[in-house]
């Protein structure tokens, strides 16, 4: 693993104002991973994992919008589905910085 971080979708628009996620609709998420310099050689591939919970490494995600996930009740926990979109104009993508040699 080169870089990993947790970014809660509820904070995708503002870290100070959590907002519920609209299901079945592509949404923009912009965040920075911890700094890591790595050289990808020709032929190398990258793998990206998008998960709605990293349990048991991190707390459980109830998959519903609750004021505080640490106070979520058993009924707040629901199944979640992650989607990758590939329709024109709504295709999922990841932008990574590229550093060139000087």
**pLDDT for position 75:** 95
Is pLDDT above 90 for 30? no
Is pLDDT above 90 for 43? yes
CA 31 to CA 86: how far, in whole Å?
Answer: 21
Cα–Cα separations (whole angstroms), residue 12 to 7, 16, 38, 62: 8, 10, 26, 17
Is pLDDT above 90 for 37? no
CA 19 to CA 11: how far, in whole Å?
Answer: 7
**pLDDT for position 78:** 92
Q: Which has the closest alpha carbon to 70: 8, 19, 13? A: 8
Q: What is the pLDDT of residues 45-99, one digit of tens each?
A: 988 888 888 888 888 889 999 998 889 999 999 998 888 888 888 888 888 777 7
Is pLDDT above 80 for 101? no
Do the beta carbons of residue 68 and residue 62 sit within 8 Å? no
**pLDDT for position 19:** 92
**pLDDT for position 80:** 87
**pLDDT for position 25:** 84
């Amino acid at each position: 693993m080169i870089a990993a971080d947790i970014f809660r979708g509820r904070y995708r628009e503002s870290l100070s104002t959590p907002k519920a996620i609209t299901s079945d609709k592509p949404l923009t998420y912009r965040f920075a991973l911890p700094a890591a310099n790595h050289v990808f050689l020709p032929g190398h591939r990258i793998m990206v994992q998008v998960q709605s919970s990293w349990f048991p490494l991190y707390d459980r995600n109830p998959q519903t919008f609750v004021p505080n996930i640490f106070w979520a009740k058993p009924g707040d926990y629901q199944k979640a589905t992650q989607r990758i979109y590939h329709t024109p104009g709504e295709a999922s993508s990841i932008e990574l910085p590229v550093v060139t040699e000087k």
